[in-house]
Amino acid sequence: MARLVRTVAENPKCYLPHRVIVLLLIALALAFCYCYLNPRNQILGSISARTNKVISKIYGLESIKLSKMVYPQPDVLTPSRKDVLVMTPWLAPIIWEGTFNMDILNEQFRLQNATIGLIVFPTEKYFLYLRAFLETAEMYFMVGHRVNYYVFTDKPEYVPHLNVRNGRQIIILKIQSYARWQDISMHRMEMLSTFSRQRFQREVDYLVCADVDMRLSDHVGVEVLSSLFGTLHVGYYGLNRADFPYERRPQSQAHIPEDEGDFYYIGALFGGSVSEVARLTEACHRAIMVDQANHIEAIWHDESHLNKYFLYHKPSKVLSPEYLWYQQQMNYVKDQNSTSPKVIKRKRFKVLRKNYRLRDW
Backbone angles phi, psi at 161, to 5 degrees: -90, 115
Measured CA to CA, the distance from residue 202 to residue 107 in angstroms comes to 23
Instruction: Render pLDDT for 277-292 as a digit per residue (tens, 0 to 9).
Output: 999 999 999 999 999 9
Instruction: Render pLDDT for 18-69 as a digit per residue (tens, 0 to 9).
Output: 665 766 677 666 665 554 444 433 333 333 333 333 434 444 555 556 667 7
Backbone angles phi, psi at 37, to 5 degrees: -105, -15
Q: Does the annotation place 233 within a ligand binding site? A: yes
Indicate which residue of 97, 247, 276, 303 is catalytic.
Answer: 303
Angle between helices 12-37 and 2-10 (to 10 degrees): 110
Which one is predicted more confidently, 3 or 270? 270
> What average pLDDT does the chain have?
82
Q: Does the annotation place 212 within a ligand binding site? A: yes
Whether domain 94-360 has CATH 3.90.550.10 = yes
Instruction: Render pLDDT for 227-276 as a digit per residue (tens, 0 to 9).
Output: 999 999 998 988 999 999 999 999 999 999 999 999 999 999 999 999 99
Q: Does the annotation place 34 within a ligand binding site? A: no
Residue 212 has pLDDT above 70, yes or no: yes
> Chain centroid to CA 259: how far?
31
Q: Does the annotation place 211 within a ligand binding site? A: yes
Angle between helices 39-50 and 12-37 (to 10 degrees): 60
- pLDDT value of position 285: 95
Buried b (16+ CB within 10 A) or exposed e, 103-135: eeebeebeeeebbbbbbbbbbeebbebbebbbe
| Least confident interval from 96-110, 128-142, 344-358 | 344-358
Q: Is the pTM of this model over 0.75?
A: yes
Measured CA to CA, the distance from residue 310 to residue 315 in angstroms comes to 6
303 CB-near residues (< 8 Å, 6+ apart): 185, 265, 266, 267, 361
**Does the annotation mark 10 as catalytic?**
no
- pLDDT value of position 16: 53
Q: Indicate where the chain has its CATH 3.90.550.10 domain(s).
A: 94-360
